[in-house]
A and B are shown apart, each in its own frame.
Chain A
Amino acid sequence: QVQLVESGGGVVQPGGSLRLSCAASGFTFSSYGMHWVRQAPGKGLEWVAFIRHDGSNQYYADSVKGRFTISRDTSKNTLYLQMNSLRDEDTAVYYCAKARTGNGNWFDPWGQGTLVTVSS
């Protein structure tokens, strides 16, 4: 079955960098767009970024544009989120999610999430 496993979260100081990974299995990774969605502690869901199945286009939330970069490695079936210039407000659980179909914008399924804490 489809499985998404995030890793790379942790504690980082403001202004620092972190790279999240999402290992995908159980489906043809190269055929689907992929998303990152985050959730601050006790808060709602915020979409972060999307990359098309072939990596040809990326889209970002305004709150992370210019600081975060989404990428993918088809040879490793892995999605990435490079996060630079981190701020306190980036503290959240970060989920990767597969597009339900093709490059669609429904999220299914989701990984279990990885916690990023930005704190001095």
Chain B
Amino acid sequence: DIQMTQSPSSVSASVGDRVSITCRASQGISSWLAWYQQKPGKAPKLLIYGASSLQSGVPSRFSGSGSGTDFTLTISSLQPEDFATYYCQQANNFPLTFGPGTKVDIK
């Protein structure tokens, strides 16, 4: 199975800050990576797929990069509605696996 790790596990930031979250796969997954946002008590929401493609309706302040084993989600200017937990997910092969999550909270 492909193991996914994320860093940091949590980050405290202010509105307007640039925030980057990294995700690493235990083996190469090309660009088969997605990012999801989850707010408390809500279902996750797809932000980025194919490592860097922005899902329709997602603000352009979100961007993804990377390929192979190392990936990054960047929020260029953090907004109040962005405080949430973010998960990466590999879609290269079954079983599909998620990273442990990164919680972005208010400094």
Contact = CB atoms under 8 A, between A and B. Distances in A.
B98 A107 contact: no
The 9 closest A-B pairs by CB, nearest first: A105-B91, A110-B43, A108-B46, A47-B96, A106-B49, A45-B98, A59-B94, A61-B95, A44-B101
B91 A111 contact: no
Contact of A107 (B32, B44, B97): B44
Nearest to B4: A44
Interface string A91-116: 00001000010001111111111000
Interface in A43-74: 44-47, 50, 59-62
A70 to B, nearest CB: 13
B55 interface: yes
A46 B98 contact: yes
Contacts of B62: none
B34 interface: yes
Contacts of A59: 94-95
B94 A106 contact: no
Nearest to A110: B43
Interface residues on A, range: 20 to 34
B33 to A, nearest CB: 10
B87 interface: yes
B91 A112 contact: no
A105 B96 contact: yes
B98 A110 contact: no
B15 to A, nearest CB: 26
Contacts of A111: 43
Contacts of B89: 45, 47, 106-107
B37 to A, nearest CB: 11
A2 B49 CA distance: 19
Interface in A1-48: 35, 37, 44-47
Nearest to A63: B95
A35 B46 CA distance: 14
A110 B98 CA distance: 15
